[in-house]
Structure 1
């Protein structure tokens, strides 16, 4: 017999606002709808820029029309409000919102009732001056779980390691902060390290015999230990510190750990798990324009499982959905839209929830599956009327636009049109500077809606009243439980909100997966050294400890291996066999040798690989390339160096556009063609790929072509081509070009260190010079100017061309004299009207003052060094 429909009412944060329970809504309203006036005089000298609006245009994107507005659909309450919400005894569903319960009877004891919750309590041993500083920051008391965690035996005095887990926003960082402060206060000679990860720091301390100076090492985001690319570094670092057996206290923390006890056994630590959330979070999921509490996903999964048990092989997701709807009534639903852009239920719900939040004066954070989707959705939300804003907020948004416009790359076309509506996007396709400006504006409440990729969830602290997740998939893969928790964890933050809400908005084909995801438990965090992940024989696990002489004898190596997390997961017999195979492979590859005593000694190659922070696989590849370069290095051009500087790890970062590859190849001179022959690029294959439109399979051959394609971009950057122009030339994002440049700087430093350890002094000198050019993004004559903050590439060249050719010349300049030069260096010369142009010039004037001040400091340091050398 079908169950009777269950009706209940959950108060959302917007309901509470309507009832007048939150005063955070803007008091000052404009009388008419605010429209951004971005008109400017047509004048532009840079191809690819919008000449009318002075913005960075993308020919692939559709042009926006701010007057092409739409209306967000109305969000309605459930038609029935029964006594079920109060009287039901079914604990699977919320009887009343958690927020209301918290308001009626707070579950957090006050410091007045429990003196141990005050940081000034003698038990914590913090100096009065430090406590006062924390109080000025708004931190004078802690939560009960934090107190229990800190007061565990041996934790505060550093005698005991600690592993703990608490929800995002639950106060994990403060526990680590207190423990780090305690270590350096007790012994000012001790160091505290916060790593994510920083394996080379520990290697350096071991090699230099300075590990005694380490007091505490905090491993944030400990769940990343099974991350394919970086996780093994955390495990290696912790294992080496455990092997030393010194006085270093190890602290591991995360919001998404399920096997805390197992990790604590590995680290010989106490463990603590807290589920306390200082801000109550209401969780919902939506599909087919209806909103349900997340707890009802259990009912959906039970219906789906029952269908399978009844052998309903042909039962579709639609059948399960119909049964679910017959039993459950949504708490709210979104009316269908008359606008074609909102015909898709997910888009309709996402836009409706975002607009409702913004109109109430709060922030909404939307997670999208990819970069293109972020920008598309940001444009869509901005077309709906987000809010009526005060004159103050309007001016603040103009400030944000001015700051974005003052960047060397100009302002992105979509951001130029959405920011004034209180909407922006955030992903790796825009530059670091753009992301910082957007994030700060959102954090201050200047922007109300931020659309981001899932990478934002784990990396940046940007809380929101509402977190809206657009679909159960990010890219082609379904979101994992840990990532879902990370994204939900952005909702609500102490001191900013009284409540947080999360919405998982499901596409028609994702409903079953979404319901299962909501109910899924966190996965067990495992070792990255497992054979099916990154085999120990191909990693630095053994190579590092032998090279830094932490363990060289087979017995010592065995003891080291038994301190890895892998030892707590894998059978000892299989582990010993794996280690034996790894040792044989390291000997075969020329990384280690066996001495007369049976101990293992690192070779010159091993020392070069470890000191340059490479894995054995990458080290062998780099060693082969550099040896070939020593035999035949193309010195009458720069492409060979840029190819060597392209990190192996960036393989696959961007797809090769073979038409562009062929274009660049055809423009090479004889020097460039000799480079292609030396590194193994076949012009015939390039032509074949350009004509066929296919892609190469994942092989070593593909790695060569991919690195060569990226080397073309590096060459252009160091030839003073602006980032935005390089991005347009290769049809990639400005963010990816910037990421390439930054990654290459680190890889180049490793290459230089590699050559130094191998004794290849001449090659090292060549690479050092080109490394300096890579940092500057300029030719050799501009290297001195490029040391100044805000002076890179085009800016340095314009300064040079206008007579400012040294640090001294810039240091002695009047900032007013630099202003017109900085304006000339911008990617567009167009003016904006009235106050907008004034704000822009103020930003540029501030940069001029910073540049002069920095040049003075650098000049002073240079003079001091010269004086000391003379003495």
Structure 2
């Protein structure tokens, strides 16, 4: 146990989670004042213990009689964090119990039904609606945790996240802010904008090795090379089965839902014949559970059939190979020994065609590689497609650095939407007040206030 931890409830939490000692990034956060209500931006790799950093800060706020809000970009991630934070309900704070709740839908609700909880898990969009409804209990929030904060650079989700953080800084200056992300290239700039101390580390519990596959062979960043047996079906599936043969699970990222389902179907034969009797029984049980809990759609039936064979698409279960769209990379805890990026292309509606993903998105996908407590290392492999040079992929993605986060409020439709939202939230808002609000955005910082 770290000598820096003196709070009994925090010690109890760490013990409850099974930690014998804190990870290095967690030690850094404690030394930076996470337990003394300091605002902190934590940028450390996936599985390096960011959730516990947030939980310790949340617990300290609740001990002081304040509420805590945990913000996520996805409903699936909100549900997962709710399950994680439920452990706080087992702690005894001098006879009182902590109440944890989650809200991700019903955007017309005023949020008053959440007032009885101590810890509230929300999606960013739900938080945005609570601001518009002026939920009274927000004044008693002692800490806001913003997970996956790098999504501020996402064209679709970024503007809402940026405005939400701007409003938190402006309207709740007394509240602690803890921002979490695995990859922020311009972390100093983002920390300064948020008014946060920066906790930055490249430590991860499992070693990450990255590489590129081309014509049956893989070149890895540690200098190693290996051959992969070809089935003639799919290079991405071959890489996944190769990992399974070595005792690991695999996660294939596909560019669309349709291709994710297609790759899962192609992996079935290769996986099922390698399952032992016990694994087949577990897979059959998971399949039956999906049919019992799910609806009567063809998607559910297809998923159940694939899970029975040890394969799934975007589903958490007893599986050896999972295929998914990149949405799963946004923090959802489904790691695998090997991550396979089936394509580096994504359809862009504005461009009207497929474009390469950013290095930032690639590094986020890589973060899923390596299962703490199960693997000593994780692997991330890009499949080189026709017409794309493998060496160029290696140089750009494996050796490349993530792009700096840039505000997406520069998009005309985004700034119009949030301008109208601000006016609707505060009727009678004067022009100087509007300017004051938007002058506090990352957009104003990066493009100068005069541009706003």
Instruction: Give the TM-score of the pair, scaled to structure 1.
Output: 0.42
Which runs of structure 2 are paired with 1:44-123 in the superposition (5 Å)? 118=1, 121=3, 123=4
Which runs of structure 2 are paired with 1:825-864 in the superposition (5 Å)? none
Which runs of structure 2 are paired with 1:132-281 in the superposition (5 Å)? 132-153=12-33, 155-158=34-37, 160-185=38-63, 187-188=64-65, 190-196=66-72, 197=124, 198-204=127-133, 207=134, 210-244=137-171, 246-281=173-208
Using the alignment, how far apart are the partners of 1:209 and 1:423 within structure 2? 47
User: Conserved in 1, the CA contact under 8 Å of 2:148 and 2:331?
Assistant: no
Task: Please state how far the C-alpha of 1:261 moved relative to its aligned partner.
Answer: 1.0
User: Conserved in 2, the CA contact under 8 Å of 1:266 and 1:565?
Assistant: yes
Match of 2:401 in 1: 521
Which runs of structure 2 are paired with 1:786-825 in the superposition (5 Å)? none
Which runs of structure 2 are paired with 1:433-832 in the superposition (5 Å)? 435=315, 439=316, 441=317, 446-475=318-347, 476-511=354-389, 514-515=393-394, 516-530=396-410, 532=411, 534=413, 536=415, 538-541=416-419, 543-544=421-422, 547-548=425-426, 552-575=429-452
How many pairs were matched up?
389
Please tell me whether residue 422 in structure 1 is matched to residue 310 in structure 2.
Answer: yes
Relative to 1, partners in 2 of residues 1:125 and 1:247: Cα closer, same or farther, differing over 3 Å? Answer: farther
Task: Point out the more displaced range, 132-141 or 475-484.
Answer: 132-141
Relative to 1, partners in 2 of residues 1:546 and 1:552: Cα closer, same or farther, differing over 3 Å? Answer: farther
Relative to 1, partners in 2 of residues 1:360 and 1:333: Cα closer, same or farther, differing over 3 Å? Answer: closer
User: Conserved in 2, the CA contact under 8 Å of 1:361 and 1:448?
Assistant: no
Using the alignment, how far apart are the partners of 1:124 and 1:203 within structure 2? 38
Relative to 1, partners in 2 of residues 1:542 and 1:359: Cα closer, same or farther, differing over 3 Å? Answer: same
User: Conserved in 2, the CA contact under 8 Å of 1:358 and 1:387?
Assistant: no
User: Conserved in 2, the CA contact under 8 Å of 1:368 and 1:474?
Assistant: no
Task: Please state how far the C-alpha of 1:279 moved relative to its aligned partner.
Answer: 0.7
Please tell me whether residue 409 in structure 1 is matched to residue 296 in structure 2.
Answer: yes
Match of 2:99 in 1: none
Task: Please state how far the C-alpha of 1:535 moved relative to its aligned partner.
Answer: 5.4
Using the alignment, how far apart are the partners of 1:202 and 1:416 within structure 2? 40
Task: Please state how far the C-alpha of 1:184 moved relative to its aligned partner.
Answer: 0.9
Secondary structure at 1:500 match in 2? strand
Using the alignment, how far apart are the partners of 1:559 and 1:415 within structure 2? 50
1:772-805 superposed Cα distances (whole Å, 9 cap, x missing partner)? xxxxxxxxxxxxxxxxxxxxxxxxxxxxxxxxxx
Relative to 1, partners in 2 of residues 1:572 and 1:410: Cα closer, same or farther, differing over 3 Å? Answer: closer
Secondary structure at 2:22 match in 1? coil
Which is strand-richer, 1 or 2? 2
Please tell me whether residue 331 in structure 1 is matched to residue 225 in structure 2.
Answer: yes
Secondary structure at 2:440 match in 1? coil
User: Conserved in 2, the CA contact under 8 Å of 1:228 and 1:534?
Assistant: no
User: Conserved in 1, the CA contact under 8 Å of 2:152 and 2:158?
Assistant: yes
Relative to 1, partners in 2 of residues 1:152 and 1:133: Cα closer, same or farther, differing over 3 Å? Answer: closer
User: Conserved in 1, the CA contact under 8 Å of 2:291 and 2:301?
Assistant: no
Secondary structure at 1:509 match in 2? coil
Unaligned runs of 5+ in 1: 1-117, 297-329, 427-434, 576-871
Instruction: Give the TM-score of the pair, scaled to structure 2.
Output: 0.78
Using the alignment, how far apart are the partners of 1:375 and 1:574 within structure 2? 45
Using the alignment, how far apart are the partners of 2:154 and 2:61 within structure 1? 29
User: Conserved in 1, the CA contact under 8 Å of 2:139 and 2:172?
Assistant: no
The runs of at least 4 aligned residues of structure 1 exceeding 6 Å deviation read none
Match of 2:83 in 1: none
Match of 1:26 in 2: none
Task: Please state how far the C-alpha of 1:144 moved relative to its aligned partner.
Answer: 2.0
